[in-house]
Each structure stands twice: as structure tokens, then as C-alpha cells.
Structure 1
Amino acid sequence: MRSRRCFTKRSRRAVPSPAFSRARSPANSMVSDMEWNVADMMEAIADAHPDREALIVDGGPSLTWSELDTRASQLANHLIESGIESGSHIACYCANGNEYLETMLACFKARMVPINVNWRYKSDEIAYLFDDADVAACVVDPDFVSVLDEARVELPGLRLVMETGAGYEEAIAQAPKVRPFAGQRSPDDRYFLYTGGTTGYPKGVEWRQEDIIGAVWRTTGNLDMSRGPEQVLEISANPRTRYFAIPPFMHGAAHWGAFGAWLAGGVVMCMRSRSLDAPAALRLVERERPNLMLIVGDAFAAPLLTELEKADARGEPYDISSLKVLVSSGAPLSAHHKEALQERMPRIVIADTLGSSEAGVQAIASWRPEQKATRFVMNDVTTVLDEETLEPLEPGSGRQGVLAKSGYLPLGYYKDPEKSHRTFPEAGGKRWVVTGDHAIAEADGSITLLGRGSNCINTGGEKVYPEEVEAVIKAHPSVADVLVVGVPDERFGSAVTAVIEAEASIGTQEIRAFTEARLAGYKAPRHVVVVEKVPRAPSGKPDYKAALDLAVGGI
């Protein structure tokens, strides 16, 4: 066996995914007694509106509800005929396109479990993920086959590899069109979401379908969980959502939005490109007229704004008037970018979402021009708890605690009861999810986010949360992007260091003075390292490890 540079295999007994179990989420008082299943609900919409648009892929096909439903049924039947049993885990090792979402829907139809795969992983990381997830079959794009082949020598449980392209289309065409397991599915059928591994190994978060609908997909779909799932027919009779996902489906936010839009009878749009192609994205907006677009913070907003400015200078402005809602998820969207977007689209609603693989959507904050920072507000399920006692902190007390959510929650981490117990504790008669994000409950009901403890910088005994400092530095007019890390320091233990992507010449003293005017002095960077590009994942999420390497090498 090869040595693992990035991940090492943990010895843990495999536990079959209980696709037919009727167990409810422990201590989840909000679980409905009604039946909720994604495949059943989408099939009902397809029957009611077969010829309506469902999926538009830039550089790929456009599918009606009937075509999407039939193709997903055929893919499901192909998996079944290939010997893959219900409850099996199927890897979605694809970039954005119809194949990714078809594979997810096919899994739901066949009572299998789709597994999201980060296509940036190397072979060791793929081997770890597939082994941890007990992957039985994989749908893979041709560009990733060589990496999978290298990893496959360590994956005896991987029984079927289905490559997208001509073979994929042939397999679908030859498979039966009948809907598998129609009338036999359950709200207990599983949905998995593997975390990005930013705080350690990727972890499989295991959800019941009813709970993921209640925690996430009902937000876009405008579903009332106190009513029956048949309400999708009422909602889809007058669909409003035309959803454009720019981030990759391999991360939760993008495919969460897709299924949320579909459960409202809406249209989903995506591009096949593996990185943001701003001109292509804006051309799609002009052509297909989405009204809801998902981005990931400044990493996506900045190039889109740059392209809009270039088009204006050419005298060929883009028509983006169809956009009514712009949602940023996974990374902060700076106030100056929000202002620039609002100036171009005065009536657009710009919203930040707060959530995670473990919690789903915790809060949504709509931005107003008078705001200088995003203000999330506590609600009936999201609050701040004392880190030790897990008791809710009094708003306005000024005490630092941990962000927590109750309500619709996952069952836990796949095959990891110890970590599940820590992340999903019970207290005060409720089950909570506590992922380690530190926060303060303000007197006005808002939440001040301080960042995740795993990234906290201890400098001379003072704690500094990178996200707080980053939000301040991003307001500097010469800063395009920034990550803040702690580099080893003989005197202070760690020295706060800003890794900056600059739009103009900038130095340490300038950034330090700018930060000290807004934050306590110990939070101001002692070092500034200017780089060509701040390291981020394709989703826009920060790569703090790579930033630390750049910082250490640049000082």
C-alpha cells in the first residue's frame, strides 16, 4: 500500500447505510410525521408539467421535466441491472453538467446514496474518500479517470465505474424507462454530504431526506414542513425560480440550490467550465434570464464586476436585468462589492447565507446599503450557546460562545459515532449541531461571527479570528482579496499575517494602520505578504494551509 501524503486510512468498521431504516433523528422534535422523499416529489412535478424546462446546461443539453425524469430513471435502472443494490453509495465524480444532477436523482430513485467528490483531489485523497464512504459505483468524467485508476488499486469495494460521454449515453438509452421503487421509497432514505476537509479529514454527514429538505431545500422551494409533500404540485403550478449555480455541484451550496429550485418546479442552470468564466456566465444570464444566481463571495463577485466594467467600456453592456436575487454562500462578500453590484442592479436583493454541511442553512441576511458588515439574526433554531454548559447565552451579555442550531439535523457523521457525539450534543431537551464557530449574541438579536476555533490565532495570549480581520482588510480600496494566518513567532508564539491580493502597491504599515483604526492593535497584521492570487478552493472557500505556506515563504 502506498503511503498517504494527505490522508491516512482510519481503521473503522464499515456500517451499511440503513436506507430502509425508519429511525428518526435523535431528539429532533421538529420532524414531521408526513412522508417526504425527493424522488417521489420530483416525479409528481414531472407528471404534472412534463414539457416544462427543468435543466439548462451551457455547453450541454437542455432537458424538460419529462426528459430529466426519464434519463434519471434509466440511469437508476442501469445501476440496478449492473448489480448495485439499494443502499449502496455512488460517487458523483463529475464537474458541473447534467450528468452530476442526473446521478444524484438516479440515486434517490433507486434508494441509493450519492457521494459528492472533490474533483481537485489527488489519487491518495480519492482513495481515502472512496474507502471512507464505502463507494460501490462511480460516475466519472473522462478528465478524472486517470486519477481514479491510480486510486482504484486500493479500492476493492468499487465494483462499477461509469464514464460520462458516449458510453454513459449508450447505457442510459438501453436501460428501461420504468421508475424504480416507485411507491416504496421513504423519508428515511439517505442523503450524504462530504465536508471539504478544511479542519481535518473529509467527513460524511449523513442526513435523512426529510431532514435535508427541512433544513435546506425548503428554503428555495418555499415549502411548509407542517403541510404534506403534495404541496409541491400547488407550488410548481406557478413556478418562479430560474436558478443559476456558478459554483461546483461537488459542494453542498450549489446542488442544495438546484434541488430547492426543482422542488418548487423551477429551472436549474449551470456551466460545464471548471473555473469561473465570467463572460460565459454573463452571456448565460442574458440568454436564459435567471432570476436567482449563486456565487461564492468576493472570489466570484470581483471577476464578474470586472467583466461588466469591460463590457461597458466596449460599449456592449450585458443585460442582467432578469436577476432579482444574488446569493453568496461559503465565503464573505465584501461591502464594496455589494455596493458595486447594487449600483448596477438597484432592485436586486443581495443575500449572504450562514450554514454548513452539518447544519444546513442556519440564517440568511439581506444586505442594505447602510450596513458595513453582514448581520445574521438569531431565529427559533439558531442561537449562541455557552461552550461549556451548552446553555443559550443572553443577548447583549458580550460573552463569547459557540454558534449552534437545533431543528432539522443530520443523523451524524458516517461511521464516526465519537465525532458525531461531540458535534451533535444534547442539552436542554434539544439536539444541537455545534461545529466550532465562535460568536457573540448581540442585544439586537444579531450574531457577531468570530470565526472557527481551528483557525484561531494565539498571539501573545490573545485570540485573533482570521475572518474578523479579513473583513476589515477587505474594505481597503487596494485589496482585492485576503486571508489571515498565524506564522510562527519567537516572541508572540504566532504573528498575525495578511496574505493579500492587491490591486495597487501596498505595504505592511499601511495595512496595519488601516486595521488598527478599526480593531484592537493585537489583531492588526505584523506582516503583509502580497501574492498574485490568494489561494482558494473552486468553491471560493479559503485554503488556509496554502496561505500559511505563502506567508512563511514570503516573510
Structure 2
Amino acid sequence: MMNENFATVLETVADEAGDRVAIIHGDTRRTWAELDERASRLAGFLSGRGVGHGDRVAIAMYNGPEYVEALLATMKVRAMPVNVNHRYRARELTEIFGDSSASALFVDASLTGELARAEAPLLKTIVRVGEHGDGEDPLGGRAVPFAEALGGEPMPRIPRSGDDHWLMFTGGTTGRPKGVLSRHTTLFSIAISNGYRVMEAETPSDLEGLRASTRRLLEHPRRMISLVPPPLMHATGVYTSFGALLTGGTVVYPTSRSYDPEELAELAVRHRATDLCLVGDVFARPLVATLGRAAREGRPYDLSSLRRVFSVGVTWSAEVKERLLAYCDAILEDVIAASEGGPFARSVTTRRTGRVRSTFELMPGARVLDDEGRDVEPGSGTVGKLAAPSSTEVEYLDDPEKSAATFVDIDGTRYVVPGDMATLQKDGSLVLLGRGSRVINTGGEKVFAEEVEQVIARCPGVADVIVVGVPDEHWGHRIAAVVAREPGAGEDPDAETIRNAVAAELAGYKKPRDVVFVEQVRRSPSGKADLTWARDAAARAPQAG
């Protein structure tokens, strides 16, 4: 495996790709030469502010060329990017700035209001993208405009190493985001899987081999044009982008700041996209509805350029896959992976594979392990946890206890076991059952139930609460709160009060869509929540409020 910093890798690709288009965002087309030059100017700015090897640079922005330029600039100075969810409120921003020790930040102007309310004592440099709509600056002039940061001289290229650290924050299973710390060698292997594997190209082992491979891929008749609607603040969005860029391809980002299936279909046609990344049924179901409506109206979308449509981390249903295949003859790929590692399993469907199934095949080296660390016997009905070989370089940032629980040694091999539950059928195919922890995946966002419970429990008049995920056709799962009021407390909170309390402290996607009131919350004698009862109570009163 190539032992190079990923910035050096992309610089090498840029030297070969030159005036080819690297990024498309609306009317903006950024060539490879422009991308590299602008990132070098940002790197010069960061270096001039004292940001260098091992420092952390937070990025709280929306998809677009500026996000990629900030990522590349951060890697050029050998610092570590910190992905910040642009939906976070002040409390959550305070937590991630504290956990990451970020000393610099790239931030969209629309997010500076919450940033001004957050505590970030180590944050010395702020670069603002865009302008304030009302003309007022919540940061009081502390932020440097992006254009100004681009105004200096490009930083000369410097020696770097594949052993430099890479940091990706994930919601994980502990409520607060956890930083998954790895190295650029690991990042390179992920990008190879998302790029070279798809193109069926041989993996280069050094920079000279990369140059030769890039020249060949640039002339490939189906050079990768990847349409990426998932946000770059999540692993799927950034790793998909890196995979396409590694091949010298083009990444296309929608301009809508919320998912727009019509825009997605139009972009796929306009730019002749070869690869499309989705987030399970949350993205696929509205897209299929859009394609069907257009076909019925006599204006079908021409998706003949699509080679692959894939979802990572959030599975999508067989029914939606079948409907999508009516509009495109592409490979439909469903991958189970996590920020901590993987991939664990994969499901591939085409028009020629016949009936669409909801099962998966284990990836080479992956296993399903029971509570004793033994392989689950196919057809036994035993439920186990997915495990995949993991590099010794991967761990949680500043959390050895959590690292020891997730990254385990089995028979002399290190595995990552993030908590995905599954069982094996007689033929060896895998049926995914979901996370064993209390993480709720809603629309591709991870929500820790206890974090929401703690906010609701502080509401006047609330005696007890359990938060669960309820299956939802659109979101995969929706957040439901089962609440017991406190008798005689003088307060009688309603559903809107509960929702507003959560929205005031946490990101909007953590707000419960359903609020179900019960006389008493059911718990075990030890105080543990009866989750089965809570889910049943929530399901019996859908959309209650």
C-alpha cells in the first residue's frame, strides 16, 4: 500500500489531470489545476497563522468546492480536518470543539450565529465562506473572508508521510461524536475501494505508478463522474468524493441544502454521471417517485450513463431497488460499513440477477461473532455481531476504553466490532438486524436516544421518558418519545413543548416526530428501559402529538 499523505496523492493526480474538471457545483466548475492552486493558497494562509503538523482544523460548511479546498489545504499543512455537522447548535459545537481541540475553523456564514454562542477557547483562526444575509456579523469581525484567505501566495509543496493522522468524527454509540483516528495509509485504502475497485484498475504502489494509472484513467471511455448528494460532513460523502478524485474523475455536488430528488435526476442527466451515491430508502424512494412521475408525464430522465448506484451504511429495501431498475440499467450496490472500519458486507443487484433480495454477502475476512467470540453457524438462527479485520492504526481519539471495546483481538487478528447485529442463513448469506446499541439512524443521521432523553427529562412536568426509533418508510426510522407526566406537578407539558425543548438544545433531526404520553414508563427492576414495550407503545400511536 502506498505510504503517502493523501494531499501528496491528490497533488500528483492534479499534475496529470490539469485542466480537466475536478468539481462541479451549480455553475461553478473547478479544474484540477485550480483546485490544487486554491488549496495551496489556503494552506499558505493556515501556515501563516501557525497551523501545522498535528493541529486540528474544523470544517462546518455545506457541500461545494470550498469544502474540498479546505480539506485539501488542511492535509497540505499536515493538520487533521475535523468534520462538524452543520446542524449542530451551540452546545453541540462547544462539545466537538472541546473534544477535537480545534485551533482553526472554516465555517459557512449562515452558521456563525450558533458559533458565536459556542465556547471554543482554543479556536484562534476562523475563515468564513459566504456573506451574512442581514449584513450583521455575529462574530464581530473575528472571521477572515474565504476570498481574503485565498489572497496570499500558494504554499510550496512539502514532504509528508502516509503515517500522518486522519480524523473522522462519527456519532458512534456513545451519544457525543467520537473521533475515529487513523492514518493517511488507511484513508488511501478506503479511497482505492471507492475508486480504483469500481474502475477495475490495478492499485498503484508508488507515486510514479499513480501518475501512470492516472493518465490511463483520464482516457478511460467511462471516466468516473460521481454524483454525491450526501453531506461531506459525513464519512460517506467525503470518502465517496475521495474515491472519484483519486481516479482523476469529477465530483458533482447538488446545490440544494436539503435533498431534492428532481435536482439529483437532472444533474445525473446533464453531467452524464456514471456513479450515484444514495442514503438508503431516504434518498432512493423519493428519487424513484420522481422518475416515475416524469415517465408518466412523457418526459423520462435518461439515466443510461449510470454504471453504479450505491448506498453505504444505510440499507435500502428490495422493493425500492426493483422500482429503480425500471429506470436505469445500473449495478445497485448496498454496502455495510462504519466510520470505524469495514466494509463488513455487500449486496449487489442488477437487472440480470433476478429477484431482489434483502440479504448480504460477507466481505472477505468479515465474520459474524457470537457473545463468546465464535463464528455464528449459518442457519443456526444465532444473532451475532459483525466484525471485520482492522488496522492497528485505527482507534478512538483520546478514548482507550472505548477503543478496547470496539477494536478487539480474536485469534491473533485485530477486528473492529462496532455493534451491528446480524445472523447467517443456511446458504451463508447475511441478514442485517441493526445496531445493538441505542443509536437510532434517521435519514442517515445517528441519534443517541439517551442524549434526547436527558433533555426531555429536564422539562417541567416530565416524570420519565424513553426515546426509541420507530420504522418509517421515508426516514428509515423516526424519533419517538414515550413520556410519562408527573402527577400534581402543576405543569402539563404537551407534545410541542417536548419538541421545542429538544430543538432548543440539539440539532433539528434529533427532535422527536412522535410524542406518546403514557401513565407510567415501563422499566425493569434494575431501572433499565423496556425498549420493546416503548417501541410498541410508540407504534400504537404513530404521529401522535
How far 1:364 sits from its partner (Å)? 2.7
How far 1:313 sits from its partner (Å)? 3.9
Residue deviations 1:28-72 (CA, integer Å, cap 9, x gap): xxxx4x42321111111111221111111125x211111111111
Matches within 5 A, 1:236-247: 236-237=214-215, 238-239=217-218, 240-247=223-230
Q: Which amino acid counterpart does residue 269 of structure 1 have in structure 2?
A: V
Match of 2:152 in 1: 175
Match of 2:41 in 1: 74
Q: Which amino acid counterpart does residue 161 of structure 1 have in structure 2?
A: I
Matches within 5 A, 1:340-359: 340-345=323-328, 347-359=329-341
| 1:367 equivalent in alignment to 2:349 | yes
Matches within 5 A, 1:32-431: 32=1, 34-59=2-27, 61-151=28-118, 154-165=119-130, 168-181=145-158, 184-196=159-171, 199-222=174-197, 227-237=205-215, 238-239=217-218, 240-345=223-328, 347-368=329-350, 370-387=354-371, 389-408=372-391, 410-431=393-414
Q: Which amino acid counterpart does residue 159 of structure 1 have in structure 2?
A: K
Give the structure-1-normalised TM-score: 0.75
Q: Which amino acid counterpart does residue 333 of structure 1 have in structure 2?
A: W
CA contact (8 A) 2:343 2:363 kept: no
Residue deviations 1:141-199 (CA, integer Å, cap 9, x gap): 01101111110xx2110001100137544334422224342xx2111111111113565
Instruction: Indicate the SS of the match to 2:375.
Output: coil
Q: Which amino acid counterpart does residue 147 of structure 2 have in structure 1?
A: E
Cα distance in 2 for partners of 1:87, 1:334 equals 42
Matches within 5 A, 1:444-455: 444-455=427-438
Gaps of 5+ in 2: 132-143, 441-467, 485-507, 517-537
Superposition CA RMSD, Å: 3.0
Q: Give the aligned length.
A: 452
Matches within 5 A, 1:448-463: 448-455=431-438
Q: Which amino acid counterpart does residue 376 of structure 2 have in structure 1?
A: L
1:417–1:375 CA distance, 2 compared to 1 (3 A): same
**Between 42-51 and 251-260, the greater mean CA deviation after superposition:** 42-51
Cα distance in 2 for partners of 1:484, 1:155 equals 32
Instruction: Indicate the SS of the match to 1:55.
Output: strand
Residue deviations 1:95-151 (CA, integer Å, cap 9, x gap): 111111111111111101111111111110011011101111000001101111110
Q: Which amino acid counterpart does residue 289 of structure 1 have in structure 2?
A: R
Instruction: Indicate the SS of the match to 1:177.
Output: coil
1:386–1:230 CA distance, 2 compared to 1 (3 A): farther
1:249–1:440 CA distance, 2 compared to 1 (3 A): same
Cα distance in 2 for partners of 1:481, 1:90 equals 31
CA contact (8 A) 1:358 1:409 kept: no
CA contact (8 A) 2:481 2:515 kept: no
1:65–1:486 CA distance, 2 compared to 1 (3 A): closer
Cα distance in 2 for partners of 1:549, 1:436 equals 28
How far 1:442 sits from its partner (Å)? 3.2
Residue deviations 1:457-488 (CA, integer Å, cap 9, x gap): 9xxxxxxxx99x95xxx8xxxx5565388986
Instruction: Indicate the SS of the match to 2:175.
Output: coil
CA contact (8 A) 2:359 2:429 kept: yes
How far 1:207 sits from its partner (Å)? 1.1
How far 1:210 sits from its partner (Å)? 0.3
Q: Which amino acid counterpart does residue 382 of structure 1 have in structure 2?
A: A
How far 1:344 sits from its partner (Å)? 1.1
CA contact (8 A) 1:188 1:208 kept: yes
Q: Which amino acid counterpart does residue 332 of structure 2 have in structure 1?
A: I
Cα distance in 1 for partners of 2:482, 2:20 equals 58
Instruction: Indicate the SS of the match to 2:364.
Output: coil
Cα distance in 1 for partners of 2:193, 2:416 equals 19
Match of 1:12 in 2: none
How much identity, in percent, do the aligned residues show?
Answer: 34
1:484–1:267 CA distance, 2 compared to 1 (3 A): closer
Q: Which amino acid counterpart does residue 304 of structure 2 have in structure 1?
A: S
How far 1:224 sits from its partner (Å)? 5.3
CA contact (8 A) 1:212 1:408 kept: no
Cα distance in 1 for partners of 2:509, 2:41 equals 39
CA contact (8 A) 1:483 1:544 kept: no
Residue deviations 1:186-224 (CA, integer Å, cap 9, x gap): 111111111135651110000111012224543323365
1:173–1:484 CA distance, 2 compared to 1 (3 A): closer
CA contact (8 A) 2:480 2:515 kept: no
1:171–1:549 CA distance, 2 compared to 1 (3 A): same
Instruction: Indicate the SS of the match to 2:300.
Output: coil
Gaps of 5+ in 1: 1-31, 458-465, 491-541
| 1:483 equivalent in alignment to 2:477 | yes
Cα distance in 1 for partners of 2:53, 2:69 equals 17
1:427–1:224 CA distance, 2 compared to 1 (3 A): farther
1:400–1:484 CA distance, 2 compared to 1 (3 A): farther
CA contact (8 A) 1:242 1:289 kept: yes
Q: Which amino acid counterpart does residue 211 of structure 2 have in structure 1?
A: L
1:212–1:392 CA distance, 2 compared to 1 (3 A): farther
Q: Which amino acid counterpart does residue 35 of structure 1 have in structure 2?
A: N
Moved over 6 A (4+): 484-490, 542-545
Cα distance in 2 for partners of 1:219, 1:119 equals 25
Instruction: Indicate the SS of the match to 1:281.
Output: helix
Q: Which amino acid counterpart does residue 8 of structure 2 have in structure 1?
A: D
CA contact (8 A) 1:41 1:230 kept: no
1:43–1:487 CA distance, 2 compared to 1 (3 A): closer
Give the structure-2-normalised TM-score: 0.76
Residue deviations 1:211-269 (CA, integer Å, cap 9, x gap): 12224543323365683354332332224211110111111101101101111111111
